[in-house]
Chain A
Amino acid sequence: MNDLSSIAQLAATSDEQAARLLADSTHADLIARITATRYHASERSGSAEVPSATRPLTRRRLTIGLPAAAAVVAAALVISSSGQPGHHLGPTGVRPTKAELLSFTRHGRYIDVIVRNPLADAKKYNAEFKAHGLHITLSLVPASPSLVGTLVYFDGGSAIHPITAVGKCWTGGGGSKCPVGVRVPIGYRGTAALVFGRAARSGERYETTVSATMPGEVLHGLRIAGRRVARVLAMLRKRQVTVAEYNYQAPKRGGVLAHRVPLNWFVYDADPWAPGQVVLFVGKTRHERLYPPSTKQPSPKASRAPGL
């Protein structure tokens, strides 16, 4: 047993079980309580944060953490790309002073925040965000080369928009327009988490990747899809790239990792693993056959786990 099918079985409660738990009167009670609370247009300002949900009956938040100017001020966060010379710093090109990790520069209706050193201690960024009244955390994860300096994960609201730059990286979809930063309304009092890609150290595993054949990646320019494993291993050897793992699909098991597969199997794709290492996606057939997990159905799986 493996992968998604086994995860599905870990669901402690199915929706069907959940549906039987609440009395109709409980639903009616909740609806009545919720709709009795006040709502204001200002709370519909497009932010996808969870607004005052944790303080459902108060409006205190509106006065918490607001900067002196109540106007909508946004912060644009753009990471500099120390590992990749020649990049634009972002739409404005504001240069911070050397002592700063982040530079908050007002720019019309926005504040540009530039990250100078993508390898600095994340705690220091976060302290600077905090000093500016923003509950934003920034962390850095080892990224495959084309994602270094780009925003690879963002958890916040719809009020925060990514800033994209063309030619900075290449996406798995083949485009070259990638997020390099985000624009944050200063009035945003929710939390947000930004994760940027940084260069991996030698031997360090990437936490975020695109296909290894994308521009900027270790196998760029090689056509590996549909070739046999033996052939691809020879191609990899020329680039001094080794295989960390093989990943193949097995019926009822989903994705399986292995360290050895038959050399006459076929390669479908490669994913960067660590500097000089890739994961090869392989299978017995020339064209990839997927075994979709049985859980990909319109309705959630019933739980087989005990406990309710």
Chain B
Amino acid sequence: MRSAHHARDGDRRSRFEEIYAANCTPILGYALRRTSNGDDAADVVAETFLTAWRRLDDVPPGDAARLWLYGVARRVLANHHRGERRKSELSDRLSHDLALVHRDPEYTGQLGVAAAAFRCLSEADRELLALVGWEGLGHAEIAAVLGCSRNAVRIRLHRARAKFAAAVAQLDAESFVPDPIGDRT
């Protein structure tokens, strides 16, 4: 029995290492794009892969693993945003490597308008747009990350794009023509 357990543990570890190797970069990128400092990004990465380790049997094979991990990372981030962040020693080394990552990008011109408009959106809308624009995901992939139907993604993405466009327009009034029809309020 004991040796069987050990064999299983070895298999588990190998599978986890494969998943980690294939996905550590996209998950780190995902975390860095959504956090303002290296510490937070390190925590998100560590917690996401810890979850994968603990729920290894739930991690889908192949490329779908990346989407599953995005989904986990998203919930880890949401917990962080709710102030449930707990520093874990798991991520000490990561934090150290990422210590110099300091992002305070300043956008000017139209990109500045886009950045401001993006910040106006709800977190859910931002995430939806970011999964397309930052992770390069399509509708089906986003549906897998968010755990909803493709159709729901299509509808929500359309709404988010409309809200973003409206926010850009509001911030960039010159791009608008006077409105003869709508009852814009």
Q: Within B126-185, which residues are at the interface with A (CB < 8 Å)? A: 129-130, 132-136, 138, 146-149, 151-152, 154-156, 158-159, 161-162, 164-166, 168-169, 176-185
Closest CB-CB distance, A39 to chain B, in whole Å? 5
> How long is the Cα–Cα vector from A305 to B101 in the complex, in angstroms?
14
Q: Within A1-52, which residues are at the interface with B (CB < 8 Å)? A: 1-15, 17-19, 21-23, 25-27, 29-31, 33-35, 37, 39-40, 43-44, 46, 48-52
> How long is the Cα–Cα vector from A172 to B136 in the complex, in angstroms?
24
Given contacts A208-B159, A279-B162, contact A13 B129 (CB under 8 A): no
The residues of A that contact B78 with a CB separation of less than 8 Å are 155, 191
Interface residue A86 (Cβ < 8 Å from any Cβ of B): no
Chain A, interface size: which category? 35 or more
With a 10 A CB-CB cut-off, give which of A22, A233, A277, A301 has the most chain B CB atoms.
A22
Given contacts A259-B180, A295-B136, contact A6 B111 (CB under 8 A): yes
Closest CB-CB distance, B6 to chain A, in whole Å? 13
The residues of A that contact B65 with a CB separation of less than 8 Å are none
With a 10 A CB-CB cut-off, give which of A14, A154, A207, A259 has the most chain B CB atoms.
A259
Chain B, interface size: which category? 35 or more
Q: B56, B151, B168, B181: which contacts A39 (Cβ < 8 A)? A: B56
Q: A53, A153, A307: which contacts B105 (Cβ < 8 A)? A: A307
B130-A50 in contact (CB<8A): no
Q: A55, A153, A242, A301: which contacts B124 (Cβ < 8 A)? A: A153
A257-B53 in contact (CB<8A): no
Interface residue A240 (Cβ < 8 Å from any Cβ of B): no
B147-A54 in contact (CB<8A): no
A293-B147 in contact (CB<8A): no
B54-A44 in contact (CB<8A): yes
Given contacts A255-B162, A259-B177, contact A34 B182 (CB under 8 A): no
The residues of B that contact A233 with a CB separation of less than 8 Å are 181
> How long is the Cα–Cα vector from A207 to B124 in the complex, in angstroms?
12
B54-A19 in contact (CB<8A): no
B114-A1 in contact (CB<8A): yes
Q: Within B28-49, which residues are at the interface with A (CB < 8 Å)? A: 28-29, 32-33, 45-49
A54-B86 in contact (CB<8A): yes
Closest CB-CB distance, A38 to chain B, in whole Å? 9
B111-A259 in contact (CB<8A): no
B159-A3 in contact (CB<8A): no
> How long is the Cα–Cα vector from A18 to B24 in the complex, in angstroms?
9
B159-A51 in contact (CB<8A): no
Q: A39, A52, A56, A208: which contacts B90 (Cβ < 8 A)? A: A56
> How long is the Cα–Cα vector from A173 to B91 in the complex, in angstroms?
44
Given contacts A54-B47, A54-B86, contact A7 B56 (CB under 8 A): no
Q: Within A275-308, which residues are at the interface with B (CB < 8 Å)? A: 277, 279, 293, 295-301, 305-308
Given contacts A29-B93, A52-B54, contact A298 B155 (CB under 8 A): no
A191-B79 in contact (CB<8A): yes
B115-A10 in contact (CB<8A): yes
> How long is the Cα–Cα vector from A296 to B136 in the complex, in angstroms?
5
B54-A3 in contact (CB<8A): no
The residues of B that contact A27 with a CB separation of less than 8 Å are 20, 24
A9-B114 in contact (CB<8A): yes
Given contacts A6-B110, A54-B85, A260-B180, contact A44 B48 (CB under 8 A): no
A8-B54 in contact (CB<8A): no
Q: Within B1-57, which residues are at the interface with A (CB < 8 Å)? A: 12-13, 16-17, 20, 24-26, 28-29, 32-33, 45-51, 53-57
Q: Report 25 cross-chain contacts, Cβ distance below 8 Å, ordered by A residue.
A: A1-B114, A10-B134, A11-B134, A13-B29, A18-B32, A19-B28, A22-B24, A22-B97, A25-B93, A26-B93, A30-B91, A31-B16, A34-B53, A35-B16, A37-B50, A43-B55, A48-B147, A50-B72, A50-B75, A52-B54, A54-B86, A153-B156, A259-B179, A271-B158, A271-B162
Known interface pairs A26-B94, A26-B97, A247-B162; 19 further A-B residue pairs with C-beta atoms within 8 A, sorted by A's residue number: A4-B132, A13-B101, A30-B93, A31-B17, A34-B46, A34-B49, A35-B16, A43-B54, A49-B75, A50-B72, A51-B54, A155-B78, A156-B147, A203-B185, A255-B162, A257-B166, A295-B132, A297-B136, A307-B103
Ranked 4 nearest A-B pairs via Cβ: A259-B179, A7-B133, A6-B114, A15-B29
